[in-house]
A and B are shown apart, each in its own frame.
Chain A
Amino acid sequence: MHPVLRTVLQRLGLGVLTLIVVSVVIFSSLELLPGGYAENILGQGATPETVANFKKELGLDRPAYVRYFEWIGGVAQGDFGASYSGVGGTNKREVAHVIAPRLYNTFFLAILTAIIAVPLSLFLGVMAALYRNSWYDRIVNAVTLTTIAAPEFLIAYLLMLLFALKWKWFPSLSTVGETTPFFEHLYRAALPAITLTLVIVAHMMRMTRAALINLLASPYMEMAKLKGVPAREAIVKHALPNAWAPIATVVAFNLAYLVVGVVIVEVVYVYPGIGQLMVDSVSSRDMPVVQACALIFAATYILLNLSADVVSIITNPRLLHPK
């Protein structure tokens, strides 16, 4: 088998394994609850019969491993079980139905951010690396160090104050529904997207710059320069093939960071995404929804890191041309 293919398959296998372990961790954390879920919800005054009935309705009376395999089997088919919020009532809510529109909104926001942030930060990073120690580099450095240290909510509220309250370019709250037309959605999601962009561009730009500067200092770049290769060709032909791996890692790392940033930004702008859903469910202790959200977040995180690994393997010239 080609060594690249083998390494990629190994990495994928490892990723699947991690996903399984993470799902076990997420599932079993609920089992840790002292006193059990039903007793906690129903309170001290509940009779044993009420507790037993409640458990039976939720299916909590069966052993944990059975429930785990049922849960994970359902998840594999896109079924996350029933939300606790409708238990006992007539309108039982499926977790998948609750999550689906939210998930669409969050991915909409994340993809919008990625489309703006990735090219912008790569451009800024390459420029900073090329003109390092110039005034441009210094300004970009100082600005990014500050935005990295500033918490998301400060940036979010500052932008809200300027763009929504002072100049009234964008709405201050990003309320969207299922019937919101595409461009209206785009307009309403603009402010959260700009906030997230500001947060991750700083990271990405600094890491791109560092990765490129490392490469530009290597002997073969010196050689290319001495040979008389034009600067642009030296970068495209000599530096870039080696830079793909670190750049892919940078991009994936920061898109994974979006997973966390999105929670806070969604709450600030009241954007109906999965992050806000998770926070709400934590407050109301709707465990199936919390688990589903945690699993989706973790899976996204793992997949992004995995794809960075794969990109860095398949762009590695040493692996592509084995001796």
Chain B
Amino acid sequence: MTAQAPDIRSVRARRTFWENAKRTLASAPFSAWFGMVIILIYAICAIFAPWIAPYGEADVVGKAYLPASAEFWLGTDQIGRDLFSRLIYGARNTIGIALITTMLSFLVGGTLGVLTALMRGWLDQGVSRIVDAFLAIPVLIFSLMLLAVFGKVQFFMEHRWVLLVIILGLLDSTRVFRLARATAMNVVVMDYVESAKLRGENMRWIIFREVLPNILPPLITEFGLRFCFVFLTISALSFLGVGMQPPTADWGSMLAENKTLINFPAVGFPWIRKPFYPAIAIALLTVAINFVVDWVLHKTSGLRDEH
């Protein structure tokens, strides 16, 4: 009774969350660091856009097609709006909408996936077959069609982004559903889920406390990739002229608006032709996210294809 149990903590103190985070970050390769820094810069631009941008989102501040100067860092666009300011606002609009869309698709797809894995039976069969049909149609093609159908509804004409979020979120949720169901399938047969069921826990507890924490790592990396995909699809739709509508600053539509300028040599400091600014902004973010996801995948799953 009196024998002193050795205090395990004194032997080797447990690392705190921040110490762990620091150690993990220290082991990150250069590409992952590069990706994280880029993502951080984008996030700052998106959150603090009104404070960073020198001019307003839709303000006509000068003549059209002005070259880069001290006043307008990247020049002006086809009706004389500051391109640099619009690029920063574009970060807010494009990334924000892509983020909301991805969250919606994970909410719907993830919940349905876990639920069907738990319930099985006719619900699983029904949802899976419907999802299979949706998977057979490419997202871009299907969303083009749905945009044509719902494009003239009064509410969506005023709030185009809501339509984009709903269409892409629901279409993308079919892809999330597949992964969530497949990973949850491996977890729901575990003994601890069984014991929770026998204990009489309700569905909410089983989903959020037993299953979800155990399928989170693959879902998080998938979140990065799905975000990239949604982001590229939104940009593509806007580029095609059926996504975000003017005067909202959005990288896809900015590319379409400025595409004729590809023939004009750039004047002034950043010697890149104007249509490439929004295009590079899009590409840089997807490259950055891919680098980070690549690193996380390597770390969590030991997925090494070498040897």
Contacts and interface: CB of A to CB of B under 8 A. Distances in A.
B136 A302 contact: yes
Main DSSP-derived SS at the A contact region: helix
B46 to A, nearest CB: 19
Contact of A282 (B137, B147, B228, B239): B147
Contact of B241 (A145, A160, A279): A279
A22 B137 contact: yes
B204 interface: no
A319 interface: no
Contacts of B140: 260, 263
A297 B147 CA distance: 16
Contacts of A160: 262
Interface in A211-262: 213-214, 217, 256, 259-260
A285 to B, nearest CB: 5
Contacts of A256: 138
Contacts of B151: 282, 285
A34 B242 CA distance: 19
Contact of A133 (B142, B228, B241, B306): B306
A279 B242 contact: yes
A294 B148 CA distance: 12
Interface string B133-146: 11011111110111
Interface string B261-276: 0110000000001011
A21 B133 CA distance: 6
Interface in A150-178: 150-154, 157-158, 160-161, 165
Contacts of B262: 157, 160-161, 165
Given A260-B138, A287-B148, A148 B290 contact: yes
Q: Give the interface centre of B141, B142, B235, B286 by most chain A CB atoms within 10 Å.
A: B141
Contacts of A282: 144-145, 147-148, 151, 242
A21 B126 CA distance: 13
B146 A29 contact: yes
Interface stretch (B63-71, B102-110, B277-285): B277-285
B283 A294 contact: no
Contacts of B242: 279, 282-283
A150 B133 contact: no
A129 B279 CA distance: 32
Contact of B137 (A32, A40, A149, A298): A298
A196 to B, nearest CB: 14
Nearest to B255: A153
A260 B229 CA distance: 13
Interface of A: 18, 21-22, 25-26, 29-30, 32-35, 40, 132-133, 145-146, 148-154, 157-158, 160-161, 165, 209-210, 213-214, 217, 256, 259-260, 263-264, 267-268, 278-279, 281-283, 285, 287, 290-291, 293-294, 297-298, 301-302, 305
